[in-house]
Amino acid sequence: MAALRDRADRSGPLAAKPSPPLPLGTEEDNTTNSRRLSFSAPSMAIVREETRTVRRASRGGSPSPAHDHVGHSSASRPERSTPPATPAESPSPRRTWSWSQLWQSVVEITRGARRNQNASERIDALEDVARLLPQPGNRGRVLVLAGAGISTAAGIPDFRSPGTGLYANFRRYGAASPMALFDIEHFRRHPAPFFQLMHDMLAETGGVLRPTPAHLFVRLLYEKGLLLPCYTQNVDGLERMAGVPDKLLVEAHGTFHRAHCAERHCRASYDAARLLQALQVGGAMQSPPRCERCRRGLVKPAIVFFGEPLPHRFRETLRADVRAASLCIVMGTSLTVAPVMYIPDMVRRDVPRVLLNRTPAGRIGARRRDGVLLGDVQHSVQRLAELCGWEADLGKLQRRYGAGRSALPDGDAVYGEAR
Residue positions annotated with a catalytic role:
253
328 is in an annotated binding site: no
Count of other CB atoms within 10 angstroms of residue 139: 14
230 is in an annotated binding site: no
261 is in an annotated binding site: yes
388 is in an annotated binding site: no
Cite the annotated binding site for Zn(2+) by residue number.
261, 266, 291, 294
Cite the annotated binding site by residue number.
261, 266, 291, 294
